[in-house]
Structure 1
Amino acid sequence: MDKALWIQFLKTCSILAIFPVVLFALAYRWEMVGFYRHIEHHEQAATAAGAVAAAHRLNNIAAIVLMLADQNELHAYLDTGDEALLPLIAHEYLALARTAKIYDQVRFIDANGMERVRVNHKDGIPVVVPNSKLQDKSRRYYFEEAMALDSGSIYVSPLDLNIEQWTIERPYKPMIRLATPVFDLQGRHRGLIVVNFLAQSILDAALDAMKQTHGQPMMLNADGYWLLSPEPCRSWGFMFAGQEDKRMGVIYPKVWQAMHQEQAGHIYTREGLFVFHGSNPLAAEYCALAEAANEIKSDLSYRWYFVSYVAQAHIDDMRTKILVIVVVLGTLVVMLLAAVYQETLISEDQRHRNRAKLERLARVDGLTGIANRLAFEERLEQEFEQAGGRRAGRRLALLYFDLDRFKAINDNLGHDVGDRVLKDVANVLSGNCRRGDTAGRFGGDEFVVLLSDVPDEKTAVAIAEKLRDQICALRWRGHAIGVSIGVAVFPDHAKRLAELRRLADEAMYASKAKGKNCVTVAT
């Protein structure tokens, strides 16, 4: 190669090198977006699993407490006052404590606050406390609060550490107390069933459910104090004098604020990624037993938070690994392109492949990744022709969507959030499409879905309502949108494609005229 050709070769290679550099910069960005999306979804699933596991444990105990309140021997004692029945009651408590070694105490306390039956776990063995050692609990806070409850209600104490003789027991013994009032056949308050539950099993269940997390699992109470923490010195701050500041709201105020704004979500800080899931452990949807779900009346202010903390160092490490891979691959590609260019020109076959790729990209909406107007119209015409020809007898449903309140979000929260809204809506539509269905974006905040085979109008409307519900459930910084939907079915409403389009469009505008955020069927 002479000097002139060599210079030309170097110039061309220098220019060509720009393209793979840009390409791999985009690839790096794409990989990072994928990494963030993966870790957010993975940690969200882990924290939700922790919430379900802890609630399952607590609700099992709540069901047992309600069962003890209906004990036959107990009600016989309440009816007759025969103290010979008390040992029989104690025998039932002993059997329960032996079966599951998670009960520190099981008690029946009468309406005056006096313990009448009490079973303790002592050195791992359940024992009946003799009458001489039964105590008056009438002034304890849980007695007063639980006695004020209605039948079938459950009192749950804070999850804290056990205290013996005014001192926190060591090693720490996490404890939670559940109580329910006892009524006789005349509906009179006759006392309480109180169960002291060794809550370490709740913490262990949550920790085990979150063990697949990439981060550090945590569990907090409603005040933001750690019940589980990767740093043991932060746990149980509310139990110790001078440690009141060891809580999320003080150490990570932005994270705590975000946790109060959403049931579940994530937030990035300088320290790293926090993914959280709030849980009301006695809420009906978590109840372990369907019957218990109808009886337990929980206080929704009783709340736990399950958190996964992914340190910034871990995120930086993954970012570095991805960058190294992209740089190495980019360098190899540049070298390969230089060698290929030196030997031959780009083949005609390669040019055809590049052209086909560009044509495919021209048929996809650039923002949302679903079909654009051109691709959707071609698909619609193809399906319409088949429905009226060799696949006659099929029903097609055309659904037109127009987002409500989108402009307000776009104007007030910015175009980035507006773009996120459009992407999320597109994900809902495409994610619910069956094989053969097509979702598309016509531009702006207008979307369309083709249902290629529906049995009847009712099914099409049900699918439209389902999509509307899922879109309305989305949130962006606490804001929501509505969606006006028009539905037209071939051949029920129209036998020509142009007429079908017109009717679906008119039905959509009819939804807006009726107050928006509803589904209207063509007439």
Structure 2
Amino acid sequence: MDKRSQVKRALWYILISCLIFFPLLGGVYLLISHEKQVAFVQEETVLLEMLRKEVLEEQNNAIEDLFLISNMKETSLLFSNDSEATRIVNSAIFAMIRARDYYDQIRILDAKGMEWVRFDYNDGTPKSIAKEELQDKSDRYYFLNAQDLKPGQVYISPFDLNVEGAAITIPFKPMIRYVMGIYDGTCDVPVGFVVINYLGQRILNKLHEAENSGQENLSLVNGQGYYLYGSDSRMPWGFQLPEHASANLSTLDPKLWARMQEASAGNFSKKSSFQFFTTLEPTDSAMSRIAQLRGGTTEETVLSEQSGQQWFLIKDISKEQWLAQINYLREVFLVNALIGFLVLVILSVMYAKIRMANESMQEQLVREATYDFLTGTYNRNAGFSLLTNLVKLTARNNQISILCFLDLNSLKLVNDRYGHDQGDLFIVSLVEMLKNTLRSTDTIIRLGGDEFLVLAPTCTKEAITPKFEEANELLKSKGKEVGCPVPWTFSFGCIEIPADGSKTADTLIAEADALMYRNKQQMKASLALLASVKDEADR
């Protein structure tokens, strides 16, 4: 075969390889890019849902406080000029508004809309408004809309800017008002109302923080399509500010608006961005929370009918970030195509062998570094890490946890007289009995030889000591069952892990070891005393 023919055949093989390899590589590229996009959409949807729950959880705090005040027995006695009831209610509201930096005002109105009690947050120094300064709120929309409230119902005002007199407060003060009736138990007609002015800026700040943590733009829109928040300065509060009235989502993005009317959540791709949205139903969330507080179901708690009590949370993510990932992926595939054309088969075989060998070696190393070969429990190194983590967890959660030090009695004697196989069975049997008696959340660690640790989170010494005593009896029975003349028992010492995190793992182990040793010595002394008494009796 001449050189020309060799070149032709080589080119033919190259062509065949390209016809097989490149379509296959292209299919893999399309599949991976699609999977990445699906994963991206799922991740962003989950993040938006988490943000939605955080926003709704903010209002549940106000619902709980509103429920507490309105259901206090003393609150209904205010209007009969009960001085003791007035003192108790004032103290409760003062403590509440001082503890909550997201309440602007907490007020109690009588049935005619006149303020009886009012506390202002006053920049962290709660202020009780004097009687002569209390105002008539009978003409305010939130009072009028609350007239038909029944027990267990709440009125939630629109999310809007605060108005004092007839003018919008400057600087702007976004506000949500929660109103619940006060009942004296004689009828379902309220004798007054509790009103909490919630500083809506807290919700907007949360959205701003979420924006800063990622490359995205967030918007919050009310049920009429007006912006409540938008990082791109989309002129919020158009329903109150005439100069912003044109900034309505239904006109700025009618396709998105129509989509949001059809579904409670969704996403779609635009020319320059991915868009995600979800619906917030503050009344539904409040209804569910009140039902829980009343010990009923959501069907038993019906809130006042409110129109427009719906918010939409919208996330816009630029496609630049996504396209950068795709472009990088494309470049990688092109490079791999050039290299793979020459060495695909050889590299695949070599890679599979190397990968399998590495994985097998890594699994073996992990097993040896983490678990005890004989018992299958955690070994010393892993045990120290687990104990250190438990110390931190105990301090963080302010809970009670227990560390126990265990030591097999007479293991050396068993090994010397009956062989190491019998000694190994002794050790393995201890672990088996501990697993049969301890909780699934408790952790067994072999320090080495005949020494073990047991970590018991959210537990007390009183609760775990009987478990060890039971395990001791089972172990003793096991020793008799296998015919070992030396009793199979263990000694233990249990200490509480301090909730202040003041002691290290080494210190805790040393203390538990010392306690175990004292217990072992006491046991030996008791056995020696019994033996002495028995000898004297035999004589």
Give TM-score, length-normalised by structure 1: 0.60
Match of 2:320 in 1: 313
Which letter does structure 2 place at the counterpart of 1:110? D
- Structure 2: gaps (5+ residues): 351-539
Deviation at 1:222, TM superposition (A): 1.6
Superposed CA deviations along residues 418-447 of structure 1, whole A, max 9, x for unmatched, are: xxxxxxxxxxxxxxxxxxxxxxxxxxxxxx
Mapped pair 1:291 → 2:293: yes
- Equivalent residues in 2 for 1:112-261 (5 A)? 112-164=112-164, 166-187=166-187, 188-205=189-206, 215-261=216-262
Match of 1:495 in 2: none
Distance 2:287 2:52 in 1: 9
Distance 2:142 2:52 in 1: 25
Superposed CA deviations along residues 69-120 of structure 1, whole A, max 9, x for unmatched, are: 1223222234x34467434432221111111122111111111111111111
Contact preservation (8 Å) 1:156, 1:177: yes
Match of 2:311 in 1: 304
Which letter does structure 1 place at the counterpart of 2:252? I
Contact preservation (8 Å) 1:49, 1:206: no
Contact preservation (8 Å) 1:111, 1:190: yes
Contact preservation (8 Å) 2:177, 2:196: yes
Contact preservation (8 Å) 1:264, 1:276: yes
Match of 1:99 in 2: 99
Mapped pair 1:7 → 2:12: no
Mapped pair 1:37 → 2:44: no
Contact preservation (8 Å) 2:76, 2:191: no
Deviation at 1:316, TM superposition (A): 2.7
Deviation at 1:335, TM superposition (A): 4.2
Distance 2:136 2:83 in 1: 18
Match of 1:27 in 2: 28
Alpha-carbon distance change, 61 to 168 in structure 1, aligned in 2, over 3 angstroms: same
Superposed CA deviations along residues 212-261 of structure 1, whole A, max 9, x for unmatched, are: 66633332222222323221344333332132232322222111211111
Deviation at 1:205, TM superposition (A): 4.2
Alpha-carbon distance change, 172 to 334 in structure 1, aligned in 2, over 3 angstroms: farther
Distance 2:164 2:339 in 1: 69
Superposed CA deviations along residues 413-472 of structure 1, whole A, max 9, x for unmatched, are: xxxxxxxxxxxxxxxxxxxxxxxxxxxxxxxxxxxxxxxxxxxxxxxxxxxxxxxxxxxx
Deviation at 1:127, TM superposition (A): 0.4
Match of 1:73 in 2: 74
Deviation at 1:296, TM superposition (A): 5.1
Distance 1:123 1:285 in 2: 27
Distance 2:183 2:161 in 1: 30
Match of 1:329 in 2: 336
Deviation at 1:284, TM superposition (A): 5.1
Contact preservation (8 Å) 2:161, 2:173: yes
Contact preservation (8 Å) 2:154, 2:178: yes
Deviation at 1:123, TM superposition (A): 2.9
Q: Secondary structure at the match of 1:125?
A: coil
Distance 1:108 1:29 in 2: 63
Alpha-carbon distance change, 169 to 118 in structure 1, aligned in 2, over 3 angstroms: same
Superposed CA deviations along residues 331-388 of structure 1, whole A, max 9, x for unmatched, are: 2223446xx8xxx9x99x99xxxxxxxxxxxxxxxxxxxxxxxxxxxxxxxxxxxxxx
Contact preservation (8 Å) 2:179, 2:193: yes
Distance 1:125 1:72 in 2: 27
Which letter does structure 1 place at the counterpart of 2:151? S
Match of 1:398 in 2: none
Identify the structure with the greater helix proportion.
2
Q: Secondary structure at the match of 1:238?
A: coil
Identity of aligned residues (%): 24
Give TM-score, length-normalised by structure 2: 0.58
Highest relative contact order (Cα 8 Å, sep 6+), 1 or 2? Answer: 1
Q: Secondary structure at the match of 2:196?
A: strand
Contact preservation (8 Å) 1:147, 1:191: no
- Equivalent residues in 2 for 1:45-60 (5 A)? 45-60=46-61
Match of 2:110 in 1: 110
Contact preservation (8 Å) 1:218, 1:229: yes
Backbone CA RMSD of aligned residues: 3.0
Which letter does structure 1 place at the counterpart of 2:310? R
Q: Secondary structure at the match of 2:228?
A: strand
Q: Secondary structure at the match of 1:122?
A: coil
